């Protein structure tokens, strides 16, 4: 009797069980905990600050909310502003101008690079300052809001659109980037944090006191500056965590397996 030829082995696909998927997902999350924490927390902060800036813009466009405080606050300031105050605040606000602020950013970043023996502060500042300038120019071009009347402003006058405050936005970004880049070597970190916040806050308020910006312009500058700085810092932290082993270890979820079975 003739022998039948051997039949080829059949391939039967089997999918991973629910338990295997859960265990694999838990293993992946544990291996990438630091990466995920930075991604979630940093992303949430950036989203929140972006939403705040968007809400301020909507209120300005609708003439509602914080926009209603702009004129009353400026009128109150005009009631006590004096030549001495104007001179002192003008001297301070020049630090946030197109000459001194870039110089401060470059000197600070290069100094930190030499101190920490890494080019990270320079790269962070270049990205942060470049994005800050782009946000300022784009915001002014898109919104096109008029500044307070010249009769209420202190010279030198500025003719560019008012929203957002470029001095405020740039000062906020530079302060945050310098603080972040110096943080690993800083002593009395809380004191430096307060000084950075005071610098960015005072820069914004100086623009209102001098009648060169509305309060809502400054608030938008703070929100956008913090949001962009948070984006830059989060990106850098993700890069650092990615480079430091063993994070992140990209475990794959179990894939469908094949099992050979003999033919009948």
Residues carrying an active site annotation: 167, 213
The DSSP result for the chain, as a single string, is -PPPPPPPPEEEEEPPPHHHHHHHHHHHHHHTHHHHHHHHHHHHHHHHHHHHHHHHHHHHHHT-TTHHHHHHHHHHHHHH--HHHHHHHHHHHGGGSTTHHHHHHHHHHHHHHHHHTSSHHHHHHHHHHHHHHHHHHHHHHHH-PPPSPGGG--SSP--S--SS-HHHHHHHHHHHHHHHHHGGG-SSHHHHHHHHHHHHHHHHHHHHHTTSS-HHHHHHHHHHHHHHHHHHHHHHHHHHHHHSTTSS--PPPPPPEEEEE---
């Amino acid at each position: 009797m003739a022998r039948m030829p051997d039949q080829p082995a059949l391939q039967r696909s089997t999918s991973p069980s629910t338990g295997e998927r859960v265990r694999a997902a838990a293993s992946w999350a544990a291996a990438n905990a630091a990466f995920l924490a930075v991604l979630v927390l940093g992303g949430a902060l950036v989203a929140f600050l972006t939403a705040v800036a968007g809400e301020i813009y909507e209120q300005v466009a609708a003439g509602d909310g914080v926009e209603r405080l702009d004129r009353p606050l400026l009128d109150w300031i005009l009631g006590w502003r004096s030549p001495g105050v104007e001179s002192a605040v003008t001297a301070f606000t020049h630090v946030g101008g197109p000459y001194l602020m870039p110089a401060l950013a470059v000197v600070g970043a290069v100094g930190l690079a030499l101190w920490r023996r890494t080019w990270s502060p320079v790269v962070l500042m270049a990205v942060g300052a470049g994005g800050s300038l782009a946000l300022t120019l784009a915001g002014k071009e898109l919104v096109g809001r008029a500044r307070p009347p010249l009769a209420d402003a202190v010279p030198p006058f500025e003719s560019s659109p008012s929203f957002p405050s470029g001095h405020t936005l740039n000062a906020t970004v530079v302060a945050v980037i310098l603080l972040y880049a110096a943080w690993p070597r800083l002593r009395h970190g809380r004191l430096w944090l307060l000084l950075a916040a005071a610098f960015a806050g005072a820069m914004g308020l100086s623009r209102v006191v001098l009648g060169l910006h509305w309060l809502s312009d400054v608030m938008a500058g703070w929100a956008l500056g913090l949001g962009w700085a948070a984006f830059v810092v989060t990106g850098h932290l993700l890069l650092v965590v990615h480079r430091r082993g063993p994070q992140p270890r990209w475990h794959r979820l179990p894939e469908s397996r094949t099992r050979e079975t003999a033919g009948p």
